[in-house]
Amino acid sequence: MTRVGVSPSFREQYEQNVFFYLFNHYFENGYILKVLNYSYKQAIIFRFHKGDKIMRKYVAFLLIAILISVLAACSSDEANSDASGDWEPDKSIEMVAPAGAGGGWDTTARMAAKVFKEAGIIEEDIGVINKPGGGGAVGWAYIAGHEGSNNHLFVASPPIILVPLNGQSEYSYDDFTPIANVIADYGAFAVRADAPWDDLNDLFEDMKADPESISVVGTSSPGSMDHIQFVQIAKAAGVDVTKIKYVTDPDGVGLTQLLNGSVEVFSTGVAETVEQVKAGTIKVLGITAEERLSGEVLEDFPTAIEQGIDASFVNWRGFFGPPNMDEAAVKYYEAKFKELSDSEEFSAIRDQYGWDEMFMGSEDYKTFLDEQNETVQTLLDELGLGQ
């Protein structure tokens, strides 16, 4: 019996169906179309004169071509990798400050980006953007939306532990990728220059007698950093911290409230007090560092510890990546932040703002954050603010 042949037009249609089935069903990526199209044209030359055997060879050729294309594409996704698996950015990096311009997060991010560029530590451009709102929660949600990205970073400090613990954000530190801590900043407790208190012990004695008669203002919300740094020192001094009258100033006019007499104490960062101290409008009763800081004006601020209050509070500040950042990218950034921390340029910036060096790599940073989380949870529970 003579086998009936398949017409050329039907064979070509059959070939095309196989081609597009493979293309649509498995890959659906435009960047491999040229490779597949080339393999298709090459197979046309054979015109299936040898029947199914050629067809099988053609399909095998297609699969090999597709596999090579996909592997090549995966290897270049968002990164350049050399033979050793090292990662380097191949496009600009976005660094997020989850607050408005001028605060600690913003300043740290912009100073880091500046040194990275000017010292030649990172060649790719680094753009700093502000994502204010929710005590940091808006910025954290933004970063969470870039899961797996190796080109997004953000700066963080204690609020990334405090805000979630008091129920104001669904995202916490352990939802992100810790890269490195770089600095330690400290809190300061300021009063008007004509206030009746000359040190923290004077203030706390009056607060022990009538804690609700003295208002404390801070930029952060209740249960967040400006509140907790004051509470931690006051508790060590014997004040009933559950009765402290804390008011929040989300609009950044806490200093104005202090100067016009609306509040008695301003809980803030050390750097935010320097200019007003120079101007003679306020005085700093104490800071939360373990030792006095160096620098003009800063060296005159007494610590709580030297006033007999056995407590300190560190406003650590470091950098994180999105969830599920590649391990190779984490190692790259960890090394770069270490280089930043060790640089003369960043040392000068630390001196300018009254920051201390406090470098921790990714693993040590994670351990530190876990310990901080446990300590803060206990304090918030005592205040009735834990969730």
Residue 144 shares a structural domain with residue 230: no
Of 296, 314, 332, the one marking the end of a domain is 314
The torsion angles phi and psi of 155, rounded to 5 degrees, stand at -95, 145
Residue 234 shares a structural domain with residue 348: no
Residue 215 shares a structural domain with residue 192: yes
Residue 220 shares a structural domain with residue 282: yes
Asked, for residue 50, whether it belongs to a domain, the answer is yes
Residue 178 shares a structural domain with residue 321: yes
Residue 176 shares a structural domain with residue 204: no
Residue 341 shares a structural domain with residue 378: yes
Q: Which domain holds residue 343?
A: 89-182+317-383
- DSSP H or E segment with residue 368: helix 362-383
The total number of residues written for the chain in this structure: 387
Which has the minimum average pLDDT: 86-90, 294-298, 323-327?
Answer: 294-298
Asked, for residue 173, whether it belongs to a domain, the answer is yes
Of 314, 349, 367, the one marking the end of a domain is 314
Predicted structure pTM score: 0.73
Tally of domains in the chain = 3
Of 51, 75, 99, the one marking the end of a domain is 75
Residue 210 shares a structural domain with residue 307: yes
Asked, for residue 350, whether it belongs to a domain, the answer is yes
CATH number at residue 254: 3.40.190.10
C-alpha distance from residue 176 to each of 259, 338, 366 (Å): 39, 20, 10
Band (387; pLDDT cuts 50, 70, 90): low
**Residues 257, 354: Cα–Cα separation, whole Å:** 25
Asked, for residue 1, whether it belongs to a domain, the answer is no
**Residues 71, 222: Cα–Cα separation, whole Å:** 51
Task: Kindly report, residue by residue over 209-227, the tens digit of the pLDDT.
Answer: 998 899 999 988 888 899 9
Tell me 317's DSSP state: E
Residue 95 shares a structural domain with residue 177: yes
**Residues 317, 186: Cα–Cα separation, whole Å:** 10
Q: What is the mean pLDDT of the chain?
A: 83
CB 195 within 8 A of CB 264: yes
Asked, for residue 80, whether it belongs to a domain, the answer is no
Residue 212 shares a structural domain with residue 325: no
**Residues 28, 265: Cα–Cα separation, whole Å:** 62
Asked, for residue 2, whether it belongs to a domain, the answer is no
pLDDT at 228 over 90: yes
CATH number at residue 338: 3.40.190.150
**Residues 51, 44: Cα–Cα separation, whole Å:** 13
The percent of residues above 70 in pLDDT, for the chain, comes to 78
Mean pLDDT, rounded, for 189-203: 97
Asked, for residue 83, whether it belongs to a domain, the answer is no
Asked, for residue 81, whether it belongs to a domain, the answer is no
Residue 21 shares a structural domain with residue 166: no
Band (30; pLDDT cuts 50, 70, 90): very low
Residue 246 shares a structural domain with residue 362: no
pLDDT at residue number 339: 98
Task: Kindly report, residue by residue over 32-71, the tens digit of the pLDDT.
Answer: 433 334 344 444 333 333 445 544 554 445 444 444 443 4
